[in-house]
Amino acid sequence: MDVTSGAAVATLLFDLFDSEKPTVSSENANEKTEQHGSCAPLRILDLCCAPGIKLCMLADLSPPSSTLVGVDISPHRISLCKNIIKKYHIEGNTSASAPKSTNNDGATTDTDEKSNVIQPRVTIRLYCADGTTFGTNQTTTSTNTVKPDLVFDNNAAVEDFISSGGKRKRMNKSARAREKRRLLELQRSEASVGTNNTESVDDHTSNLHYESLSAEKREAICRSNEKEKLNEEDDIGSDPEYDFDRVIVDAECSTDGAMRHNGKRPSALPSKACPTWNDTNMDELIDLQKRLIDSGFRLLKRGGVMVYSTCSLSSKQNEEVVQWLLEKCQDAFIIPVSFLIHKKSSDDLPFIEEGSIPGTVRFNPVLNSKSLLVQGSGFFLAKIGKMNSIH
């Protein structure tokens, strides 16, 4: 995984790179640390999760007892993601993150010596579903609501791995049926359990942004709040199962910035593994990106944080998609981020520059520079906040 992709995960989980951090009074410092710091469990959505490397990094860095949900529309890619999660977060022999003692935060992440399996510190779930409609009403009849298929749960996978004596084995038809029934039971139980009320963006930041808006935009937000209240009973998005503190949308893109990876790819790949995007279907791709970012923002809690990213250098796939969301959703706002350390200029770090939307970041490809310690592919990211309800 490129360091630029890792930057998207770090930007999502931490405010380390935020350009503007709200001040916290001393009497509320402990409360804020507990609410927004590493101790508070989070619900995190990776809307385009395959092949799963970012999801693994999210699992490593998320607070204990968090829930991570990965979504991908392709059965082929979600199967790859499932195998990677098993390799790096379940099987002790292949995991580089299997510690031999309990972490300072008290999370249980030890490897079970008998079964050689990593005991989960977070819950990881995978859904094979369309990210553009994930969490919305999809009914076959007036009384039958269809939910996306849960295809993997790491807690269930750990139990299966332990029962097999810590050995991989090919699942037969009956074993696959048992797994499907178990995942269905887990999915039903998840929907009946409420989630924590943790807010991911400081209220002060959200309210300050609201105060700076014009009267017209304030009125639009109030209309949006009223509309949400009217639709709560009809929208699966109000279900705790589809309500997230953090969302990352590393959208499908033309990959023109991923020069290092593109050089390693074979000339022809199966379409199911890597769709080909070019000038003939670029409008279709951009429409997909808009629907993905819109879906991610819909699934984001009020006060939550979303990162939109691509490995493209095209402004049409980056800033224009973000600007489209900002204009469509009046409660969306940019949280400015910067990776320029110690106020260095872009001349000192030529592979980092601000996007055309202030506060967004572009990483330019660096392939053969001996003067830089960090090299990576072209990448774009924007950190987007969702304002709290205004009463």
pLDDT in tens, 76-86: 999 999 999 98
pLDDT attached to residue 90: 81
Residue 203 lies in a domain: yes
CATH number of the domain where residue 74 is located? 3.40.50.150
- Hey, what are 391's tokens? 């009463």
Give the bridge partners for 149, in sequence order.
Answer: 128
Contacts of residue 167, defined as CB under 8 A and 6 or more positions apart, other chains included, come to none
Q: Which domain holds residue 175?
A: 3-19+34-386
Answer yes or no: is 250 a known binding residue. yes
Closest CA to 78 of 124, 26, 121: 124
Is residue 225 very low, low, confident or very high in pLDDT (cuts 50, 70, 90)?
A: low
Q: Is the pLDDT of residue 197 over 50?
A: no
**Per-residue model confidence (pLDDT) at position 123:** 94
Q: Per the domain annotation, does 256 fall within a domain?
A: yes
Q: What is the pLDDT of residues 88-134, one digit of tens each?
A: 888 766 665 444 444 444 444 455 555 566 678 899 999 999 999 99
Q: How far apart are CA 215 and CA 123, in angstroms?
A: 43
| Residue 24 maps to a domain | no
Under DSSP, the state recorded for 389 is P
Q: Which of 49, 56, 128, 311 is catalytic?
A: 311
Could you tell me the maximum CA-CA distance found in the chain, to the nearest angstrom? 64
How many domains is the chain partitioned into structurally? Answer: 1
Residue 29 in domain? no
Q: Is residue 7 part of a domain?
A: yes
Rounded Cα gap, residues 39 and 63, in angstroms = 6
Q: Is residue 254 part of a domain?
A: yes
Predicted local confidence at residue 355, as pLDDT = 94
Peptide linkage before 22 cis (omega within 30 of 0)? no
Quick check: is 26 in a domain? no
- 15: alpha, beta or left, given left = phi > 0 and alpha = psi -120 to 50? alpha
391 domain residue, yes or no: no
Please indicate whether residue 128 is annotated as part of the active site.
Answer: no
SS3 of residue 72 by DSSP? strand
